[in-house]
Amino acid sequence: MERTGHFKPTPASYDQLVDSSVDSTNETYSSRTDEKTISFVFQISLAVVLGVITLATTLSNAFVIATISQSRKLHTPANFLIASLAVTDLLVSVLVMPICVLYTVTHTWTLGQIICDIWLSSDITCCTASILHLCVIALDRYWAITDALEYAKRRTPARAAGMVATAWVIAISISLPPLFWRQVKAGEVTSCTVNTDHIFYTIYSTFGAFYIPTLLLLVLYGRIYVEARKRILKQSPKKIGKRLTSAHLITDSPGSVASTTPLHCGRQEPRSNDTCSLTSESQVKVTVSDALAEKKRISAARERKATKTLGIILGAYIVCWLPFFIYTLLVPFCPNCYFHPELFDFFTWLGYLNSLINPIIYTMSNDDFKKAFQKLLRFKFCRT
């Protein structure tokens, strides 16, 4: 018995079958077209957002460098370190972020093996140097606040340059090892990532680039906070409110020199009508001055502001880089785990965002930077 006879379609049923097949094909094609359109729109939007972040990072750090170079008032060793940090973050925005925009949007590497190696080395070196610069700045601030008199003598541009050079040497030593075990692929290179098969290097690089510097930052900022609090408490309102009394001895002779003698007025048993007296035949003029008290109040306010700024810097740094380095450290120790590529991209760009936040924090928290920055903008505007 032939079973095929039972399945032979009539002309009407055949036409219906063809029509349904065409409709399903059209629906499939239409859905794929819609998906491609949505994907294309998403890629364009993502490229625009990442491009804006890259451009903002470049401009903000360039303005910090220009502000420090144009303002003589900012030519200090401490600001030299901030300028060096801005240079490092500028390198991140110029050498690393533009290529990462292309790679993040397309998820396909099209620039070849050599560019891949250069890009990865630049990424590791510049980002690590940026993090180590934060340690250098914190160390400089710690010495300045705990040993102000002695460190003021040693706080020279040459010393600052040595600290910067040390940060770059450490950063380069972390980025070089992957080049020694680089494997040249025979076929076309479609991905560009750091080889995570070397677990020892992963531990060495993550601890050297993040975990050890973070521990150092926490210790330094903790000590700076404690020391700043001590200084603030020493300048309490009760102490600041005490009026300082001085007496100026003015003689009758026009050629005499005025001198200043402190008056010691305390809680003593009241005498006739005088509480304080000077055994002198010269005319005495007593003036009450709060200049020193005002100076102490301003100093205490600066300490509070500096402490707050350090807290903001540390908080922004941890929020930006901690997820990336936790992710990077987990990958080689969990080979069977699935790590979403988009999550890694998000953590990577969150780390790059720190290079944009650094110049914003320093310029917004420093009055000298604000004035110099505004002056530079007015100068550029007038020239244009």
- All domains of the chain, ordered by start, with CATH? 36-235+294-382 (1.20.1070.10)
Q: How confident is the model at residue 224 (pLDDT cuts 50, 70, 90)?
A: confident
CB 297 within 8 Å of CB 285 = no
The fraction of the chain above a pLDDT of 90, given in percent, is 33
Q: How confident is the model at residue 230 (pLDDT cuts 50, 70, 90)?
A: confident
Q: How confident is the model at residue 144 (pLDDT cuts 50, 70, 90)?
A: confident
The chain-wide mean pLDDT, for the chain, equals 76
Give residues with Cβ within 8 angstroms of 201, minimum separation 6: 177, 178
Could you report the per-residue pLDDT of 86-105, keeping only the tens digit for each?
A: 999 999 999 999 999 999 99
Quote the distance between the C-alpha of residue 109 and its chain's center. 29
The fraction of the chain above a pLDDT of 70, given in percent, is 66
> Stretch 252-267: mean pLDDT, rounded?
44
pLDDT for residue 234: 67
Q: Which of 117, 134, 270 is nearest to 212 (CA)?
A: 134
Statement: residue 173 has pLDDT above 50: yes
Report the amino acid identity of residue 370: K
Q: Which two tokens stand for residue 72?
A: 């003589």
Could you report the per-residue pLDDT of 351-375, keeping only the tens digit for each?
A: 999 999 988 887 777 777 777 767 7
| Poorest-pLDDT segment among 15-19, 78-82, 125-129, 189-193 | 15-19
> Stretch 336-345: mean pLDDT, rounded?
82
Classify residue 331 as exposed, middle or buried by CB count within 10 Å of its CB (0-12, 13-18, 19+). Answer: middle
Q: Which of 133, 146, 124, 94 is nearest to 192 (CA)?
A: 124
Statement: residue 22 has pLDDT above 90: no
Query: Cα separation of 29 and 230, whole Å?
Result: 72
pLDDT for residue 349: 95
- Helices (DSSP H) in 107-211: which residue ranges? 112-146, 148-154, 157-175, 177-180, 199-206
Which one is predicted more confidently, 94 or 111? 94
Query: Cα separation of 229 and 241, whole Å?
Result: 19
Query: Cα separation of 362 and 20, whole Å?
Result: 66
Phi, psi of 58 (to 5 degrees): -65, -50
Q: How confident is the model at residue 242 (pLDDT cuts 50, 70, 90)?
A: very low
CB atoms within 10 A of CB 359: 25
Which one is predicted more confidently, 221 or 246? 221
Query: Cα separation of 16 and 27, whole Å?
Result: 16
**Continuous segment of H or E residues that includes residue 262:** strand 259-262
Q: How confident is the model at residue 300 (pLDDT cuts 50, 70, 90)?
A: low
Beta bridge partners of 139: none
Q: How confident is the model at residue 38 (pLDDT cuts 50, 70, 90)?
A: confident
pLDDT for residue 235: 59
Q: What stretches of 198-250 adopt beta strand conformation (E)?
A: 244-250
Report which listed range, 37-46, 125-134, 258-267, is most confident. 125-134
Which one is predicted more confidently, 279 or 124? 124
> Stretch 126-150: mean pLDDT, rounded?
89
> Stretch 104-113: mean pLDDT, rounded?
88
Q: Which residue pairs from 318-327 have beta carbons closer than 8 angstroms and sit at least 24 positions apart in sequence?
A: 318/214, 319/350, 320/350, 320/351, 320/353, 320/354, 320/357, 321/131, 321/210, 321/214, 321/350, 321/351, 321/354, 322/210, 322/214, 323/347, 323/350, 324/348, 324/350, 324/351, 325/206, 325/209, 325/210, 325/211
Q: Could you tell me the pTM of the whole model?
A: 0.74
| Poorest-pLDDT segment among 110-114, 133-137, 177-181, 230-234 | 230-234
Which one is predicted more confidently, 27 or 117? 117
